[in-house]
Homo-oligomer: A and B are copies of this chain.
């Protein structure tokens, strides 16, 4: 039995998120089906970050055990043969028997994209938050910088979350502009449920001048979800990269 590690990209539009569930098709199920068809084995996949319905991945990392004697780097092509064209293995390798893509991750990077043009927005409707509302970038950047650090992010966590602690270390929170796109790039040692989308929704309110950037510090300290902005829609969110000690 060997443990296999895969790096994946997927278009989350057609899936009810990563994690397997009753009565809904998920990325995990699709991947496990591909491996079943390839090896004849029913494997159980664990992932680095459970993306929600409609959320995409550029570098999700998963692991599973198999008795198949396929060389590590050959798994990529082998699994891709059985995957639909909205899920693709980018890299594969053999991993240590104790490799856990979730618990061994040092940090994860997410990017949220906003598309700000009318032209072509039908093409981006599943891949970005499409809006032409004027946004004050300087204010958004000021607010983004205020929440970096080891902080309690309870105010930016969906209510009903089963998290035991709300402290996370946010190493990066930056708003960038490139052509018609705005992006929010975040990196943290862990993310609470809907955290990136709630941070995005809050920065959007700052960008629209609903309250000053400094208010974001107060929202953070309040630990009160109702004071933060709305949860931004899933289609703008991408799990970009997972960072491991190696």
A residues whose Cβ falls under 8 Å from a Cβ of B: 9-11, 56, 58-59, 85-88, 90, 118-123, 125, 127
A125 touches B85 (CB 8 A): yes
B11 touches A85 (CB 8 A): no
What is the count of identical protomers in the complex? Answer: 2
Residue of A11, A56, A59, A122 contacting most chain B CB atoms (<10 Å): A122
Q: Collect the chain B residues with CB atoms within 8 Å of residue A59's CB.
A: 119
A9 touches B122 (CB 8 A): yes
The contact of A122 among B10, B120, B122, by CB within 8 Å, is: B10
Q: Collect the chain B residues with CB atoms within 8 Å of residue A86's CB.
A: 122, 125
Q: Collect the chain B residues with CB atoms within 8 Å of residue A122's CB.
A: 9-11, 85-88
The secondary structure that dominates the A interface is: mixed
Question: Would you list 11 pairs from A and B whose C-beta atoms are within 8 A, ordered by A residue?
Answer: A9-B119, A9-B121, A9-B123, A11-B122, A11-B123, A58-B120, A86-B122, A86-B125, A88-B121, A88-B122, A90-B119
Cα separation A140 to B48 with both chains bound (whole Å): 42
Q: Collect the chain B residues with CB atoms within 8 Å of residue A11's CB.
A: 122-123, 125
Q: Collect the chain B residues with CB atoms within 8 Å of residue A88's CB.
A: 121-122
